[in-house]
Amino acid sequence: MMSSPSQTQSFIPAMTAIAREAGALLLEYFHQGLKIEYKGDADLVTAADRASEVLIRERVAKQFPSHDVLGEEQGLNDRGNEYRWYVDPLDGTTNFAHGFPVFCVSLAIERRIADSQKRVAAVVYDPTRDELFCAEPGKGAQLNGKAIHVSKIGQLKESLLATGFPSHKRHKNPNIFFYHQITLRTHGVRRAGSAALDLCDVACGRYDGFWEFNLNPWDTAAGVLIVEEAGGKVSGFDGSPFQLNSRETLASNGLLHDALVHEFQEIFAGRGLDPLPDPREYRR
Ligand code: 2AM
Ligand code: CA
């Protein structure tokens, strides 16, 4: 049984082993094809989400028995410990359930002392590409053991961005307007379906920025630290400091941040919105 690491000891090796094991389990389910269940209206959950979280919780309980765990499927197990894990056992469930190979395991550890909370370690593992991203504060971010950095693109019109749409309550989400406007001002906006991987793709420079409404702490806890440690910036849509419980995630390489915050201000204010073309007109 391991105790909590001191300043010099890292959680990353243990988290990496757990994420790899959970990722391998996800791949097994993925290749079998599986039965889709519905959590809500269109909120898919599969046997794989559940089995992955069970595995992760078992490993954490064995190695760090006093740690708290917040997982997407089982909620918060609160022992009042200073260390809390944020677990998304399968980020990208809709992709997974449809056989689209973009999904991952996301693990972060936060240290909570008095009123302060600090994320101390993050691991995101994509089993389909065997890509493992990790970060610790002040130590940089890595992909498969090599240091990664955000891109150097400084102009919105030369950038490639990413966003996401929730799997349910989509009719209450205004993101299509942001998608439309920002698509017109950039090289394009991708929508791959896994927020944790989108953040990692900002961290390693594949994307220059990413935003999404209404993400949950288990979607962002790891990816945000990975972006920051790769030299990027994460905030609310108005540029204010990122909050794990906020409903706004705006990540970028840092260079584009002000321009993105400006675009968001304009869109929220309804200024300069390009009208969506009428498909009937287009057809003619
Ligand atoms: P999930 O696959 O773990 O559910 C898709 O853009 C991203 O949003 C994914 O990371 C997905 O995580 C997350 N997501 C899906 N539905 C959501 C919802 N209803 N609320 C918040 N996040 C959601
Ligand atoms: Ca999930």
199 shares its domain with 95: no
Number of structural domains (the chain) is 2
Q: Residue 195 in contact with residue 95, Cβ under 8 Å?
A: no
- Backbone dihedral angles phi then psi of residue 128, each to the nearest 5 degrees: -70, -30
The pLDDT-based confidence of 36 (bands split at 50, 70, 90) is low
124 has pLDDT over 50: yes
- 7/282: higher pLDDT: 282
The pLDDT-based confidence of 114 (bands split at 50, 70, 90) is confident
**Residue to substitute in 106, 215, 247 for testing ligand 1 pocket (most ligand atoms within 8 angstroms of CB):** 215
**Residue to substitute in 216, 218, 244, 247 for testing ligand 1 pocket (most ligand atoms within 8 angstroms of CB):** 216
Q: Ligand 2 centroid vs 279 CA: distance in angstroms?
A: 35
In tens, the pLDDT along 221-263 reads: 999 999 999 999 999 999 999 999 989 999 999 999 999 999 9
Position 281 in a domain: no
219 Cα nearest atom in ligand 1: 10
Which pLDDT value is given to residue 127?
98
Neighbours of ion ligand 2 (CB under 5 A): 72, 88, 90-91
Q: Ligand 1 centroid vs 269 CA: distance in angstroms?
A: 26
In tens, the pLDDT along 210-221 reads: 999 999 999 999
37 has pLDDT over 70: no
* Domain end position, chosen among 127, 148, 169: 148
User: What average pLDDT does the segment 45-74 reach?
Assistant: 95
In tens, the pLDDT along 171-206 reads: 888 999 999 999 999 999 999 999 999 999 999 999
Ligand 1 first shell, C-beta below 6 A: 43, 72, 88, 91-93, 164-168, 193-195, 212, 214-216, 219
Position 201 in a domain: yes
CATH code for the domain in which residue 249 is found: 3.40.190.80
Q: What residues contact residue 141 under an 8 Å CB cut-off, 6+ apart?
A: 133, 134, 135, 147, 148, 203, 204, 225, 226, 227, 229, 230
43 shares its domain with 86: yes
Measured from the alpha carbon of residue 72, the closest ligand is 2
Which pLDDT value is given to residue 68?
98
Which pLDDT value is given to residue 272?
87
Average pLDDT value over all residues in the chain: 93
18 shares its domain with 83: yes
d(CA 75, CA 141): 28
Report CA dihedral (166, 172, 176, 178) to the nearest 10 degrees: -100
> Can you give the residue range of the structural domain that contains 96?
12-148
The pLDDT-based confidence of 2 (bands split at 50, 70, 90) is very low
d(CA 4, CA 67): 9
